């Protein structure tokens, strides 16, 4: 979406992976065009529009990824992991959509351990995670959105003790976001 505040880290990650091909697609024109056409945004607060627009960005990125995969005869690899799944921290039919999800059963610390084992630079391994979808709060850390830390989510998923407030936040968030983990209802 134009130039992200952490694009240099994304580029460094791609450099580390060293893919056969690189594709950069600026989704901003597509997102802006759609938002301009949706009359339901009229009269909504800036915060509400920004949040929904963030989900449009995630879905548009996935459309771009599937477009490239379709042209190249490839598959889309997802990066969601167990902590994001339990917190429902993904956009339904956006970044939650993929053909392969190799990290799905892993907690955040395990994902970092794998990256370290492959020799990823420490600044990327320990990068503060951000979905970076909101224009009003660019680079907002995931943990600020969660209200708990990834270490607490990892502890929860491993059945380890954690403070009651964190436990309650995780359980309530899981319940509130259940619809994201369910298949579409059909008659």
Look up the pTM and report it.
0.91
CB 151 within 8 A of CB 65: no
pLDDT tens per residue across span 149-166: 999 999 999 999 999 999
Cα distances from 70 to residues 6, 61, 105, in angstroms, run 28, 14, 27
Please check the confidence at residue 34 and state whether its pLDDT lies above 90.
yes
Give the model's confidence band at 96: pLDDT under 50 very low, under 70 low, under 90 confident, else very high. Answer: confident
Domain-embedded: residue 130: yes
Whole-number average pLDDT of the chain: 95
Domain range spanning residue 71?
A: 7-181
Alpha carbons 59 and 49: distance in angstroms, whole number: 15
b/e per residue 60-76 (b: at least 16 CB within 10 A): bbbebbbeeeeeeeeee
Domain-embedded: residue 101: yes
Question: How many residues does this entry show for the chain?
Answer: 187
CATH number at residue 34: 3.40.50.620
Domain-embedded: residue 187: no
b/e per residue 100-136 (b: at least 16 CB within 10 A): ebebeebbbbbbbeebeeeebeeebbebebbbbbbee
**Beta-bridge partners for 77:** 100
Domain-embedded: residue 63: yes
Domain-embedded: residue 170: yes
CB 111 within 8 A of CB 78: no
Domain-embedded: residue 116: yes
Question: Considering its fold, how many domains does the chain have in total?
Answer: 1
Domain-embedded: residue 186: no
Give the model's confidence band at 3: pLDDT under 50 very low, under 70 low, under 90 confident, else very high. Answer: confident
């Amino acid at each position: 979406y134009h130039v992200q505040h952490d694009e240099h880290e994304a580029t460094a990650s791609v450099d580390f992976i060293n893919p056969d091909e690189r594709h950069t697609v600026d989704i901003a024109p597509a997102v802006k065009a759609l938002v301009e056409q949706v009359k339901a945004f009229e009269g909504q607060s800036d915060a509400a529009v920004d949040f929904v627009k963030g989900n449009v960005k995630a879905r548009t990125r996935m459309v771009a990824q599937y477009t490239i995969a379709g042209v190249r005869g490839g598959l889309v690899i997802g990066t969601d992991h167990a902590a994001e799944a339990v917190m429902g921290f993904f956009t339904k039919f956006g970044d939650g959509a993929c053909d392969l999800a190799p990290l799905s059963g892993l907690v955040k610390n395990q994902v970092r351990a794998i990256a370290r084992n492959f020799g990823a630079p420490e600044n990327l391994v320990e990068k503060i995670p951000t979905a970076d979808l909101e224009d009003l709060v660019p680079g907002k850390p995931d943990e600020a959105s969660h209200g708990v830390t990834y270490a607490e989510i990892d502890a929860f998923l491993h059945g380890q003790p954690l403070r009651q407030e964190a436990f309650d936040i995780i359980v309530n968030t899981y319940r509130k976001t259940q619809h994201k983990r369910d298949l579409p209802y059909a008659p």
